[in-house]
Amino acid sequence: MSFSLTRLVKNVLQVGPKDAWHQLLILGEVKAGTLIGTDQFGNRYYENREELFARERWVVPASKKFDPSEIPAGWHTWIHRIDARAPHEVTDLPNDLKWMAPHTRNASGSEANYKPYSTTEPKIEAGRPRRPTAV
């Protein structure tokens, strides 16, 4: 939906001034909808069917430093309409999921990123500068 003052005031009254300010800082707009669920990181997932298509589902992150890779796989499938069910509604998963690692965010570009190292010896030795000879 395009910007309108009445929509903004209506949504601020629905979500409250504190959440409205948080949404303005993080999302850049104030949206009101039904809380569908919360993930283990504290991100809250909302839905409002009166919004435009592909904008009716959104996430309000728990922190200001939000990276979209922090969205777990189950919520990713819900927010992108791959599965219509939220992760807490899915019951047909196998009980034995010991092989599945817990979700971690993508650390690329941060201090925690992967730094590969070589276990082989270098093929070329580093050169040493020669001393000039006196003529």
pLDDT at position 88 is 84
Q: Which residues of 95-110 are buried (b: 16+ CB within 10 A; e: fewer)?
A: eeeeeeeebeeeeeee
Instruction: Give the predicted TM-score (pTM) of the model.
Output: 0.70
Instruction: Quick: pLDDT tens for 10-49.
Output: 889 998 999 899 888 888 888 899 999 999 889 999 999 8
pLDDT at position 95 is 67
For 103-127, what is the mean pLDDT?
Answer: 81
- On the question of pLDDT at 5 being above 80, the answer is yes
pLDDT at position 1 is 46
What angle is formed at CA 123 by the lines to CA 117 and CA 128, rounded to 5 degrees? 100
Compute the Cα dihedral for 40, 79, 100, 108 and give only its sign: negative
Instruction: Quick: pLDDT tens for 53-106.
Output: 888 999 988 888 888 888 988 899 999 999 888 888 887 766 666 677 788 888
pLDDT at position 47 is 93
In angstroms, rounded to a whole number, what is the distance separating the alpha carbons of residues 105 and 128? 44
Query: Tell me, what amino acid is at 30?
Result: V
pLDDT at position 2 is 56
In angstroms, rounded to a whole number, what is the distance separating the alpha carbons of residues 125 and 9? 69
Long-range Cβ contacts of 79-83 (<8 Å, 24+ apart): 79/45, 81/57
